[in-house]
Chains A and B, each alone.
Chain A
């Protein structure tokens, strides 16, 4: 298995633009998580899904952030409009039983 696949690996955009981050979890994993890495809070959980259903989105910073999982093999995290303070590395992770497997992350820079 190729592991958790995220795209893009890097994105630079201007404030106000829409950003869409994508994730393909490991096949057969029932859970999918979106995390954001910041210096202050480390790996901050934004939202997670179980069997494509959002279970807990209490970590989503504000209404500018939204996430979807239309099927078991794909999820998106969208920021609209983006702001400079959204600049961070965003990780997707999936889990079957046991530990999380992370993607390599999407580094977002909002100018």
Chain B
């Protein structure tokens, strides 16, 4: 049972445009959500997070939106840059220390 789902395996956008990566979850007990970024041959690295008491968190070009009623979160990257090309993983937690990850979405930003 996949509790965290990223239904789009890949996304391609033009440099300078907005990238929107989506994530759905099924467990209403999740209260902390994170996005990780992964380059080839490297481990995932933390990008941005959001607590369930918020609906938006912004860090520079990266913004995460949380819609609890829809059990949906999204990551917006504006403007997108070629260096943003990577695999993006959505993750969720119940603050027990156990992070559940989605399948990942491969973002390609074209110059």
User: How many pairs of residues, A versus B, come closer than 8 Å at their CB atoms?
Assistant: 55
Tell me how far the C-beta of A70 lies from the nearest C-beta in chain B, rounded to whole angstroms. 20
Inter-subunit contact A41/B2 (CB<8 Å)? yes
Pick the contact of A45: B36, B41, B101 (CB < 8 A).
Answer: B101
Inter-subunit contact A50/B97 (CB<8 Å)? yes
How many chain A residues touch B (CB < 8 A): the figure is: 25
Pull 12 A–B residue pairs with CB atoms less than 8 Å apart, ordered by A: A35-B101, A41-B2, A42-B6, A43-B89, A43-B91, A43-B102, A43-B104, A45-B100, A50-B97, A56-B98, A93-B43, A102-B36
Chain B contacts of A111 at CB under 8 A? none
Chain B contacts of A101 at CB under 8 A? 46
Q: In whole angstroms, how far apart are the Cα atoms of A65 and B43 in the complex?
A: 22
Give the most central of A100, A102, A104: most B CB within 10 Å. Answer: A100
Inter-subunit contact A102/B2 (CB<8 Å)? no
Contacts from B to A (Cβ < 8 Å): 2, 6, 34, 36, 41-46, 49, 89, 91, 97-104
Tell me how far the C-beta of A80 lies from the nearest C-beta in chain B, rounded to whole angstroms. 25
Contacts from A to B (Cβ < 8 Å): 4, 31, 33, 35, 39-45, 48, 50, 55-56, 91, 93, 95, 99-105
Q: A42-B103, A100-B99, A105-B41 are in contact. List 12 more A-B contacts (CB 8 A).
A: A31-B97, A41-B103, A42-B104, A43-B89, A43-B102, A44-B101, A45-B98, A45-B100, A95-B97, A101-B46, A102-B44, A104-B42
